[in-house]
Amino acid sequence: MGLSPKAIGHALMALLNFRKKSEAAPTVDTRVEAFLDGYSIEVMPRTAEKVEDFRALLPESTRVYIAHIEGTPIEDMVATAKRLASDGFNVMPHFPARIIKNEETLADWIARYQGEANVTQALLLAGGLASPVGEFDSSMQLMESGLFDKAGFTRLHVAGHPEGNKDIDPQGGTANVEAAVRWKHDFSQRTDAKMALATQFAFDAKPIIAWVDGLQSAGIDLPVHIGIAGPAKLQTLIKFAVACGVGPSLKVLQKRAMDVTKLVLPYEPTDVIAELAAHKAANPDFGIEKVHFFPLGGIKTCATWARDNGGTAGIAAEMAG
């Protein structure tokens, strides 16, 4: 017996509904979702200019770091901070010590950020210059100036290096990096500002886990905001990794580059995030507090990946601190 037109119609509708369900977004790993909660992201004034509306890309109250590259006018930095703050985001500009001439310049920058964008948090770092332009050489000197405390900054993040840093330890090893982290931890004990280690990006979870566990074993309890490279072309990531001195985990990219089937595909941080998230879920006291994205393949691409994997900002409670 043949099917009636009505029955055929019902069958087609059922098939369409089945296809819609099967094409729905894959189930999000709850461990990854929890791990990405409150993630932050980094922009530069020139990349921010290309984004029409950050509110369409990032969850409300997302912490947005503004990278200060040598040669970028402070006016551009402050304008970007003002725009992001007016859109409701937590703004954290970089203060690279080696491009700041003196305390007068530092005080001026702080006053501008506060006066025009109500900024009360900052990432303090040495910066990539081989030689400082003025009297500051390290983030520790910026902290010792007392200007951030005097201005009422409530949160200060400082750099962390899970795989070492050749600029800090040019002869190899990690002695200077470890001493710097110890100093930053001790400073956090004598200041009211909330502090955290914002790290360089890495591609392999194992060195990251070992480094974080090592900090905790040494009595350093600064929370870690782990740097993760967002989705990007493999060639782009390798270029940035080499330039930034990424260590052991660079082998992850090199191995991928040797696989012809993966060479032309964009890299996504799925594996490293999943492994870190699983470790955090199994070890709740593990020192990673948040994920910080370096959107090397573009802000929209990175934000979309984070959203599709359950990432939400969820840090409105931190607005007061």
**Separation CA 222–CA 39 (nearest Å):** 17
For the chain, domains (ranges, CATH) are: 28-316 (3.20.20.220)
Per-residue pLDDT, 173: 59
Taking Cα atoms as reference points, which of 139, 156, 41 lies closest to residue 89?
A: 41
Per-residue pLDDT, 55: 95
Per-residue pLDDT, 236: 73
Match 């992850």 to its residue by tokens.
252
Residues whose CB falls within 8 Å of the CB of residue 176, separated by 6 or more in sequence, listed in order: 168, 169
Q: Per DSSP, what are the bridge partners of residue 294?
A: 229
**Separation CA 172–CA 187 (nearest Å):** 26
Q: Do 70 and 48 contact (CB within 8 A), yes or no?
A: no
Residues whose CB falls within 8 Å of the CB of residue 80, separated by 6 or more in sequence, listed in order: 43, 45, 48, 66
Low-confidence residues in the chain, pLDDT < 70: 1-26, 164-174, 240-265, 313-321
Provide the CA 113 distance to its chain's centre, in angstroms.
21
Per-residue pLDDT, 6: 52
Global confidence as pTM:
0.84
Q: What is the DSSP secondary-structure string of 16-85?
A: HHHHHHHTSPPPPPHHHHHHHTT-EEEE-HHHHTT-S-GGGTS-TT-EEEE---TT--HHHHHHHHHHHH
Per-residue pLDDT, 311: 86
Match 């729905």 to its residue by tokens.
24
Per-residue pLDDT, 27: 77
Residues whose CB falls within 8 Å of the CB of residue 272, separated by 6 or more in sequence, listed in order: 202, 203, 204, 205, 208, 228, 252
